[in-house]
Amino acid sequence: MKRRPKSRGILVVAYIAVLIAAAGIPINGTSFATVDNQVLTPSPALNKIDHFAYVIGYPDNEVKPLGEITREEAAVIFYRIMTEENRKAFAATYQPFTDVESGRWSNDEIATLCNANIIQGNLDGSFNPEKPITRGEFAALAARFDKLKESQENKFSDIENHWAKDFINSSAEKGWIKGYGDGTFRPDHIIIRCEAMMLINEMLDRRVNMEGLHKDMKQWIDNTEDKWYYEIVLEATNSHDYERANKPKSIEKWTKMKDNPVW
Protein backbone atom coordinates (compact mmCIF):
# COMPACT_ATOMS: atom_id res chain seq x y z
CA MET A 1 0.00 0.00 0.00
CA LYS A 2 1.32 3.44 -0.89
CA ARG A 3 2.28 5.46 2.16
CA ARG A 4 1.00 8.98 2.67
CA PRO A 5 3.45 11.71 3.69
CA LYS A 6 3.98 11.74 7.42
CA SER A 7 3.33 15.46 7.68
CA ARG A 8 -0.14 15.01 6.26
CA GLY A 9 -1.01 12.47 8.92
CA ILE A 10 0.11 14.91 11.62
CA LEU A 11 -2.05 17.67 10.17
CA VAL A 12 -5.05 15.32 10.00
CA VAL A 13 -4.61 14.29 13.63
CA ALA A 14 -4.34 17.91 14.72
CA TYR A 15 -7.38 18.91 12.70
CA ILE A 16 -9.56 16.14 14.11
CA ALA A 17 -8.35 16.83 17.63
CA VAL A 18 -9.36 20.49 17.27
CA LEU A 19 -12.82 19.50 16.06
CA ILE A 20 -13.30 17.10 18.93
CA ALA A 21 -12.06 19.54 21.53
CA ALA A 22 -14.38 22.23 20.20
CA ALA A 23 -17.36 19.92 20.47
CA GLY A 24 -16.48 18.83 23.99
CA ILE A 25 -15.97 15.21 22.98
CA PRO A 26 -13.95 12.92 25.24
CA ILE A 27 -10.88 11.52 23.53
CA ASN A 28 -11.62 7.83 23.88
CA GLY A 29 -10.39 6.34 20.62
CA THR A 30 -13.84 5.46 19.33
CA SER A 31 -14.04 4.42 15.72
CA PHE A 32 -16.78 6.81 14.63
CA ALA A 33 -16.01 9.87 16.76
CA THR A 34 -19.07 11.54 18.25
CA VAL A 35 -19.59 15.07 17.05
CA ASP A 36 -22.25 16.43 19.37
CA ASN A 37 -25.62 15.49 20.78
CA GLN A 38 -27.20 16.89 17.66
CA VAL A 39 -26.97 15.94 14.01
CA LEU A 40 -24.93 18.46 12.05
CA THR A 41 -26.69 20.83 9.64
CA PRO A 42 -27.49 20.32 6.85
CA SER A 43 -28.64 16.82 7.65
CA PRO A 44 -28.21 14.20 4.91
CA ALA A 45 -31.54 12.71 3.88
CA LEU A 46 -32.37 9.05 3.35
CA ASN A 47 -34.35 7.66 0.44
CA LYS A 48 -37.47 6.19 2.03
CA ILE A 49 -39.45 6.06 -1.21
CA ASP A 50 -37.46 3.96 -3.68
CA HIS A 51 -36.82 0.42 -2.52
CA PHE A 52 -33.48 -0.36 -4.13
CA ALA A 53 -31.21 -3.16 -3.01
CA TYR A 54 -28.61 -1.61 -0.74
CA VAL A 55 -26.79 -4.89 -0.08
CA ILE A 56 -25.34 -6.85 -2.98
CA GLY A 57 -24.51 -10.50 -2.46
CA TYR A 58 -21.51 -12.52 -3.58
CA PRO A 59 -20.81 -14.29 -6.89
CA ASP A 60 -21.29 -17.68 -5.20
CA ASN A 61 -24.96 -16.76 -4.59
CA GLU A 62 -24.41 -16.21 -0.88
CA VAL A 63 -25.23 -13.07 1.08
CA LYS A 64 -23.58 -14.18 4.35
CA PRO A 65 -26.29 -12.92 6.74
CA LEU A 66 -24.32 -14.07 9.80
CA GLY A 67 -21.05 -12.60 8.58
CA GLU A 68 -19.34 -9.47 9.80
CA ILE A 69 -19.62 -6.11 8.08
CA THR A 70 -16.62 -3.83 7.75
CA ARG A 71 -16.46 -0.11 8.32
CA GLU A 72 -16.10 0.63 4.61
CA GLU A 73 -19.00 -1.69 3.75
CA ALA A 74 -21.13 0.22 6.26
CA ALA A 75 -20.12 3.50 4.64
CA VAL A 76 -21.05 2.16 1.20
CA ILE A 77 -24.46 1.00 2.43
CA PHE A 78 -25.34 4.36 3.94
CA TYR A 79 -24.14 6.09 0.79
CA ARG A 80 -26.55 3.97 -1.24
CA ILE A 81 -29.58 4.77 0.89
CA MET A 82 -29.09 8.53 0.74
CA THR A 83 -31.35 10.40 -1.65
CA GLU A 84 -29.86 11.04 -5.06
CA GLU A 85 -30.01 14.78 -4.39
CA ASN A 86 -28.02 14.35 -1.19
CA ARG A 87 -25.43 12.09 -2.79
CA LYS A 88 -24.86 14.83 -5.36
CA ALA A 89 -24.89 17.63 -2.77
CA PHE A 90 -22.27 15.96 -0.58
CA ALA A 91 -20.36 14.21 -3.37
CA ALA A 92 -16.61 14.12 -2.79
CA THR A 93 -13.60 12.13 -3.90
CA TYR A 94 -11.12 13.46 -1.36
CA GLN A 95 -11.05 12.25 2.24
CA PRO A 96 -8.32 12.87 4.83
CA PHE A 97 -7.78 9.33 6.06
CA THR A 98 -4.22 8.04 5.91
CA ASP A 99 -5.23 4.42 5.27
CA VAL A 100 -7.80 4.98 2.49
CA GLU A 101 -6.07 5.32 -0.87
CA SER A 102 -7.75 7.45 -3.53
CA GLY A 103 -8.12 4.41 -5.79
CA ARG A 104 -9.76 2.22 -3.17
CA TRP A 105 -13.11 0.72 -4.22
CA SER A 106 -14.93 2.50 -1.38
CA ASN A 107 -13.09 5.84 -1.57
CA ASP A 108 -15.89 7.94 -3.08
CA GLU A 109 -18.51 6.63 -0.66
CA ILE A 110 -16.25 7.21 2.35
CA ALA A 111 -15.33 10.68 1.07
CA THR A 112 -18.98 11.62 0.54
CA LEU A 113 -20.04 10.53 4.03
CA CYS A 114 -17.03 12.30 5.48
CA ASN A 115 -18.03 15.46 3.60
CA ALA A 116 -21.53 15.09 5.06
CA ASN A 117 -20.05 14.86 8.58
CA ILE A 118 -21.46 11.37 9.07
CA ILE A 119 -18.07 9.73 9.55
CA GLN A 120 -14.81 11.23 10.75
CA GLY A 121 -12.39 8.45 11.64
CA ASN A 122 -9.82 8.02 14.39
CA LEU A 123 -7.62 10.48 16.23
CA ASP A 124 -4.52 9.16 14.48
CA GLY A 125 -5.95 10.12 11.08
CA SER A 126 -6.90 6.58 10.06
CA PHE A 127 -10.26 5.06 9.18
CA ASN A 128 -9.56 1.31 9.44
CA PRO A 129 -11.78 0.48 6.44
CA GLU A 130 -11.40 -3.29 6.74
CA LYS A 131 -12.08 -3.43 10.47
CA PRO A 132 -15.44 -5.00 11.43
CA ILE A 133 -17.88 -2.42 12.74
CA THR A 134 -19.42 -2.77 16.19
CA ARG A 135 -23.06 -2.56 17.19
CA GLY A 136 -22.49 0.74 18.95
CA GLU A 137 -20.63 2.24 16.00
CA PHE A 138 -23.32 1.17 13.56
CA ALA A 139 -26.10 2.57 15.75
CA ALA A 140 -24.23 5.88 16.01
CA LEU A 141 -23.68 6.01 12.26
CA ALA A 142 -27.40 5.50 11.68
CA ALA A 143 -28.44 8.03 14.33
CA ARG A 144 -26.46 10.81 12.67
CA PHE A 145 -28.95 10.76 9.79
CA ASP A 146 -31.71 12.00 12.07
CA LYS A 147 -32.27 14.20 15.10
CA LEU A 148 -31.47 12.55 18.37
CA LYS A 149 -34.51 11.55 20.37
CA GLU A 150 -33.86 12.18 24.04
CA SER A 151 -34.42 9.40 26.53
CA GLN A 152 -35.04 9.84 30.24
CA GLU A 153 -33.29 6.59 31.02
CA ASN A 154 -30.98 4.14 29.32
CA LYS A 155 -32.72 1.56 27.18
CA PHE A 156 -30.08 -1.06 27.93
CA SER A 157 -28.20 -1.99 31.08
CA ASP A 158 -24.68 -1.92 29.64
CA ILE A 159 -24.42 1.49 27.92
CA GLU A 160 -24.24 3.98 30.80
CA ASN A 161 -20.57 4.83 30.30
CA HIS A 162 -20.37 4.10 26.59
CA TRP A 163 -19.43 6.90 24.18
CA ALA A 164 -22.39 6.04 21.90
CA LYS A 165 -24.99 5.98 24.68
CA ASP A 166 -27.08 8.88 23.33
CA PHE A 167 -27.04 7.46 19.81
CA ILE A 168 -28.02 4.00 21.04
CA ASN A 169 -30.84 5.34 23.22
CA SER A 170 -32.14 7.45 20.35
CA SER A 171 -32.09 4.55 17.92
CA ALA A 172 -33.90 2.36 20.46
CA GLU A 173 -36.53 5.06 21.09
CA LYS A 174 -37.27 5.07 17.36
CA GLY A 175 -37.53 1.29 17.23
CA TRP A 176 -34.50 0.86 14.98
CA ILE A 177 -32.53 -1.45 17.26
CA LYS A 178 -33.16 -4.21 19.74
CA GLY A 179 -31.12 -5.63 22.56
CA TYR A 180 -30.78 -9.08 24.07
CA GLY A 181 -33.03 -10.99 26.43
CA ASP A 182 -30.86 -10.08 29.40
CA GLY A 183 -31.43 -6.36 28.88
CA THR A 184 -28.02 -5.64 27.34
CA PHE A 185 -27.11 -4.16 23.96
CA ARG A 186 -23.44 -5.23 23.84
CA PRO A 187 -22.30 -2.10 21.98
CA ASP A 188 -18.71 -3.27 21.55
CA HIS A 189 -19.67 -6.58 19.97
CA ILE A 190 -19.36 -6.89 16.20
CA ILE A 191 -22.63 -6.40 14.36
CA ILE A 192 -23.56 -9.14 11.88
CA ARG A 193 -24.95 -8.44 8.43
CA CYS A 194 -28.57 -9.45 9.08
CA GLU A 195 -28.66 -7.24 12.19
CA ALA A 196 -27.38 -4.32 10.13
CA MET A 197 -30.05 -4.98 7.49
CA MET A 198 -32.76 -5.11 10.16
CA LEU A 199 -31.68 -1.71 11.54
CA ILE A 200 -31.60 -0.10 8.11
CA ASN A 201 -34.95 -1.58 7.08
CA GLU A 202 -36.45 -0.05 10.22
CA MET A 203 -34.81 3.32 9.47
CA LEU A 204 -36.29 3.29 5.97
CA ASP A 205 -39.66 1.90 7.10
CA ARG A 206 -39.24 -1.07 4.76
CA ARG A 207 -40.82 -4.39 5.70
CA VAL A 208 -42.27 -7.34 3.85
CA ASN A 209 -43.67 -10.74 4.84
CA MET A 210 -43.95 -14.02 2.95
CA GLU A 211 -47.26 -13.04 1.38
CA GLY A 212 -45.83 -9.81 -0.03
CA LEU A 213 -42.82 -11.28 -1.81
CA HIS A 214 -42.57 -11.50 -5.60
CA LYS A 215 -42.05 -14.76 -7.49
CA ASP A 216 -39.14 -13.29 -9.48
CA MET A 217 -37.17 -12.07 -6.48
CA LYS A 218 -33.47 -12.77 -5.99
CA GLN A 219 -32.82 -15.64 -3.58
CA TRP A 220 -29.66 -16.63 -1.71
CA ILE A 221 -28.56 -20.15 -0.87
CA ASP A 222 -27.63 -19.18 2.68
CA ASN A 223 -30.87 -17.31 3.41
CA THR A 224 -33.51 -19.99 3.82
CA GLU A 225 -37.15 -19.62 4.81
CA ASP A 226 -36.64 -21.09 8.27
CA LYS A 227 -34.34 -18.27 9.38
CA TRP A 228 -35.70 -15.37 11.46
CA TYR A 229 -34.03 -12.88 9.14
CA TYR A 230 -35.31 -14.39 5.86
CA GLU A 231 -37.64 -11.54 4.82
CA ILE A 232 -35.29 -8.91 6.27
CA VAL A 233 -32.47 -10.02 3.99
CA LEU A 234 -34.73 -10.25 0.94
CA GLU A 235 -35.99 -6.71 1.53
CA ALA A 236 -32.43 -5.42 1.70
CA THR A 237 -31.15 -7.29 -1.37
CA ASN A 238 -33.97 -6.92 -3.89
CA SER A 239 -34.84 -3.81 -5.89
CA HIS A 240 -38.61 -3.63 -6.33
CA ASP A 241 -41.73 -1.59 -6.78
CA TYR A 242 -44.34 -2.06 -4.06
CA GLU A 243 -47.71 -1.08 -2.74
CA ARG A 244 -48.69 -0.58 0.89
CA ALA A 245 -51.03 1.32 3.16
CA ASN A 246 -50.16 4.98 3.57
CA LYS A 247 -49.10 4.75 7.20
CA PRO A 248 -45.86 3.94 9.06
CA LYS A 249 -44.81 0.35 9.66
CA SER A 250 -47.16 -1.01 7.00
CA ILE A 251 -46.34 -4.34 5.39
CA GLU A 252 -45.68 -3.96 1.69
CA LYS A 253 -46.51 -6.12 -1.31
CA TRP A 254 -43.97 -6.26 -4.11
CA THR A 255 -45.52 -5.55 -7.50
CA LYS A 256 -42.50 -5.58 -9.81
CA MET A 257 -38.82 -6.47 -9.62
CA LYS A 258 -36.32 -3.86 -10.81
CA ASP A 259 -32.68 -3.77 -11.83
CA ASN A 260 -30.21 -2.68 -9.20
CA PRO A 261 -28.89 0.87 -9.62
CA VAL A 262 -25.36 1.47 -10.85
CA TRP A 263 -23.93 3.37 -7.92
- For 261, how many CA atoms within 13 A lie in the half-sphere containing its CB? 15
* In contact, 185 and 168? CB cutoff 8 Å: yes
Burial bucket for residue 123 (CB in 10 Å: 0-12, 13-18, 19+):
middle
Identify the residue with better confidence: 168 or 19.
168
Assign residue 184 a region (left: φ > 0; alpha: ψ between -120 and 50; beta: otherwise): beta
If pLDDT is split at 50, 70 and 90, which confidence band does 24 have?
very low
pTM metric for this prediction: 0.82
Question: What integer pLDDT is reported at residue 33 of this predicted model?
Answer: 39
Whole-angstrom distance, CA of residue 172 vs CA of residue 202: 11
Q: What is the dihedral of CA 94, 95, 98, 100, to 10 degrees?
A: -80
Task: Please check the confidence at residue 1 and state whether its pLDDT lies above 90.
Answer: no
Task: Please check the confidence at residue 39 and state whether its pLDDT lies above 50.
Answer: no
Question: What integer pLDDT is reported at residue 23 of this predicted model?
Answer: 33
- How does pLDDT run across 44-78, given as a tens digit for each residue? 899 999 999 999 999 999 999 999 999 999 999 99
- How does pLDDT run across 198-215, given as a tens digit for each residue? 999 999 999 999 999 999
Residue 9: its H or E element? helix 6-23
- How does pLDDT run across 139-177, given as a tens digit for each residue? 999 999 988 888 889 999 999 999 999 999 999 999 999
* In contact, 259 and 99? CB cutoff 8 Å: no
pLDDT (average), residues 218-245:
98
In Å, the largest CA–CA distance within the chain is 58
The rounded mean pLDDT for the chain is: 87
**Percent of the chain predicted with pLDDT > 90:** 78
Identify the residue with better confidence: 27 or 234.
234
